[in-house]
Amino acid sequence: MTGVVPDPLPGWLTAATGITALTGAGISTDSGIPDYRGPDGVWTKDPDAEKLVTLSYYVRDPDIRRRAWLMRRDLGARDLAPNAGHAALVDLDRQGRLRTLITQNVDGLHQAAGSTPERVLEIHGTVHEVECLGCRARTTMHEALDRVAAGEPDPACLVCGGILKSATISFGQMLDPEVIEAAVDAAADCDVFLAVGTSLTVHPAAGLVDIAVRHGARVVVVNAEPTPYDDVADLVVREPIGSALPRLVAPPA
């Protein structure tokens, strides 16, 4: 089924007690964070911007690092708040039907909305912390941006002098194996796999759908644009996430 949220909802969805959700950039666009690969995405409009989040460019080019810090400064200055999509997943959590919330986003808006932190897996890290690429020392993004504001265009690690980067996973950087293992377990152990606002083109996140299907889960895709997994989904919804998701996860009557 493709298009709109069905009324009534299918029984397999309302009866689901172990839902694993995967969210991508699309769930945060209503909070003022642009997506990356959509028609109006950051990288669609400016392919060169992808260099700012590509590890090889970041490590070897000080100008890329300076631009990246300016981007982080500008993002940090914005007043971002969770939206109805985030709130819907909090509601699902409080119903006791959310097994795990896997997110490709680094914005922390799921936790800000009230999702149980222990249920949230940030497979691409978080923008709220900074990590040294040398000694792995961590500090807050706020502290690093204070140094940028004070005149350090490319602040170095205060522990070892190494290169600092947001604690996000850049292109060419290894994912945290423990986080990925937990995400695989969550996909293999659910009755419904709910993919929201993700293009399902980036692996290993996209491959979680395959794992869920292989273990007998139903799949729901909520995304404005077609995805490679629409054909295997039991339900595909193209409606805006902020209005569709609250109806999809409404508690059973």
The residues assigned a catalytic role are 124
Give me the residues paired with residue 54 across strands: 171
- Across the chain, where does the E strand assignment appear? 2-3, 19-23, 98-103, 120-122, 125-132, 138-140, 164-168, 192-196, 218-222, 235-237
Q: Yes or no: say if 165 and 58 are a contact pair by the CB < 8 Å rule.
A: yes
First to last CA, the chain: 22
Q: For the chain, how big is the Rg over CA atoms in Å?
A: 19
CB-based burial of residue 45 (10 Å sphere; 0-12 exposed, 13-18 middle, 19+ buried)?
A: exposed
